[in-house]
Structures are given as C-alpha cells and as structure tokens.
Amino acid sequence: DAGVTQSPTHLIKTRGQQVTLRCSPKSGHDTVSWYQQALGQGPQFIFQYYEEEERQRGNFPDRFSGHQFPNYSSELNVNALLLGDSALYLCASSFEQGANGYTFGSGTRLTVV
Amino acid sequence: QKEVEQNSGPLSVPEGAIASLNCTYSDRGSQSFFWYRQYSGKSPELIMSIYSNGDKEDGRFTAQLNKASQYVSLLIRDSQPSDSATYLCASDSGGYQKVTFGTGTKLQVIP
C-alpha cells in the first residue's frame, strides 16, 4: 500500500528562482493539503486541494500556488523565492478533505541561498 | 492569539511514568482534534483523533477533550524511550479544510 510520495526530497535554489514540488497521495485518498514547517515550529497550512480546486488557503502570499490533477496528485509552486522560504514542505493526503486526519509524506527540504 | 497553543517543553518523564501533554485552542467552532507524533527529522504521524467531549483510549494513549474549556490533552501511559518525540496538537479551526497545528511539545522519556 503506497503511502504519500513527495519529490524531490531535497532541493537547493537561489533567491528569485521558482520551484515546483510534487505529491502523490496515499491510495484511496482524494485530498491534498500542503504545509510549510520551519525548524522548531509546527506545520503551517498553505492550502488544500480537493476535486481539483483550492478549497482553503492559509496566510501565504500569492507567490505560493498549486494544482491538483485528475489522478489526485498535486503540485506546489513557489515563485520569486526568498531566503525565508527555506523550510520543510509537507504534503498531507486524506479522504474527503480530512475529517479523519491526514497521512503525511516525508517532505521536501527546500533551501534557498 | 495563536489558534492552537502548546507548551514547547521539553517535558521529561522517567520510563514507565505517565506523560501528560496539553493543548488549548481558540476557535469555539472547532469540531475535530488530532494528536500527531513527529520524530526528529521525520514527518508527522497521526496517533489519535477525538471529536466528542470526554476520553478516547487507544492502547497506551488516551486523548481527552473539554470543549467548554477549549482544552485537549494526550496521556501516554507506561512511557517508553521510543515515545521520545515532538507531539503536535491540531484542530480544524477553519473548517475541516484547514487543520491548524500547534508548535508541538517535545517529550523526553528518560530510561
């Protein structure tokens, strides 16, 4: 039973560049939520995708955008990278928007230099 | 005011003792509450969910919810060194489309 798959696992980018992170949800899940986790902090909600639409968004600028595909996989795009965007990006999958909790992927560690 | 608040710890307990982790939330409309465990360098793992006032037990773990006091807790009985991790409290403060996490409490179980 495949869990949540995220790629890449690590990424180093330069300020001002753009990055795309990818997530395949757990089999049977149809919802993907993205979180940013800085060192020593709890995960911060970026947005949730369900039925290929952004359903809810956290306090993140428009530089953060996403997409969900018909097979439920999702992408997180970040434009005009800032040093402060360096963090662990977590994808959480769930069934029907997550009333029963999430399954997290192993994350993508993004470093902006 | 943060939506979900936890003491960052570390909370140190001896092996075999009961560890008590606490969390408060600000949104009275929250319906669902979760406890996740996160080992250092790993991603969070769901260990308990609770939706109604009272206690919910699962093995060595007991989650407690008091909506009147806006308080959630997690008890770990017979704590083991392998329980040493950061425990994240979460609630659906913005509707279940948005689950908000606390900053986590670091638990250290001393052998």
Q: Please indicate whether residue A100 or residue B69 has the higher confidence score (pLDDT).
A: B69
Confidence of residue A100 (pLDDT cuts 50, 70, 90): confident
Q: Is pLDDT of B90 > 80?
A: yes
Identify all chain A residues contacting B2, using CB atoms and an 8 Å cutoff: none
Residue range A56-66: mean pLDDT, rounded: 96
Are B27 and B13 within 8 A, CB to CB?
Answer: no
Q: Which of B24, B42, B47, B99 to mutate to test the interface with A (most CBs of A within 10 A)?
A: B99
pLDDT of residue B78: 98
Residue range A42-66: mean pLDDT, rounded: 95
Identify all chain A residues contacting B6, using CB atoms and an 8 Å cutoff: 42
Are B79 and A78 within 8 A, CB to CB?
Answer: no
Cβ of B46 and A101 within 8 Å?
A: yes
Confidence of residue A1 (pLDDT cuts 50, 70, 90): low
Confidence of residue A99 (pLDDT cuts 50, 70, 90): confident
Confidence of residue B14 (pLDDT cuts 50, 70, 90): very high
pLDDT of residue A98: 75
Which of B36, B46, B95 has the CB atom closest to A56's CB atom? B95
pLDDT of residue B98: 86
Identify all chain A residues contacting B45, using CB atoms and an 8 Å cutoff: 104
pLDDT of residue B2: 67
Task: Detail the DSSP E strand segments found in chain A.
Answer: 5-7, 10-13, 19-24, 31-37, 44-50, 53-57, 64-68, 74-78, 87-94, 103-104, 108-112
Give percent of chain B above pLDDT 90.
85
Mean residue pLDDT across chain A: 95
Tokens of B58: 């699962």
CA distance A54 to A32: 10
